[in-house]
Amino acid sequence: MAVASDELVEVARDYLIAFTNRDADTVERLSFAENGVLAFSIAIPPGVHDSLRDFLARMREVPQTAQRIESQPTGIMHNDFAWLVDFPKFTVPDGRVVSARFSVVLQRFGDFWKVVHSHLSIGGEVMAAAE
C-alpha cells in the first residue's frame, strides 16, 4: 500500500465539491456504476440501491449551489483501488460553518480513476459565522 497520489486527492476533492454543489455533469464524469447501480445512497432506506441515472436525474432537478468548501482528503492506494477520507468544512449561505465526514473509494479504469463508492455525513459540529 502507498499514500494516495496527488491525482487521487484531486479526483476526491473534485467529486466532493461537485457532489455537494449538485454539479451532476461532473459527478457523472467522475463516477463508475457497474450495471448502472451506484454504490452509495442518500436519503434512501438501508438495502435500497439507486441507479446512477436516477440519482443524477434527481440531482439535476435542483439548482446548483456554490458553497465554499475546505477540503483536504488523505488516504491510501493499492494496485487499482484507493480509499480516501476527508473532514471538510462547508460555509453555508447564512455564514455558518458545518463540519462533515467524507469517504470515497476509487477504482482505476485504464488511465482514469472513478468513484465507485462514496459517503458523506454532514453535521455534528456547526460553528457560528465569522464576524
Which has the higher per-residue pLDDT, 46 or 103?
103
What percent of the chain has pLDDT above 90?
Answer: 47
CA atoms within 13 A on the CB side of 27: 24
How many other CB atoms are found less than 10 A from the CB of residue 96?
A: 13
Tell whether the model's pLDDT for residue 38 goes beyond 80: no
Rounded to two decimals, what is the model's pTM? 0.81
Give the pLDDT of residue 57: 84
Q: Could you read off the pLDDT of 75-108 as tens digits, one per residue?
A: 999 999 999 999 999 887 788 888 899 999 999 9
103/22 Cα distance (integer angstroms): 17
Average pLDDT over residues 53-74: 85
Which domains occur in the chain, in start order? 2-127 (3.10.450.50)
Which has the higher per-residue pLDDT, 51 or 62?
62
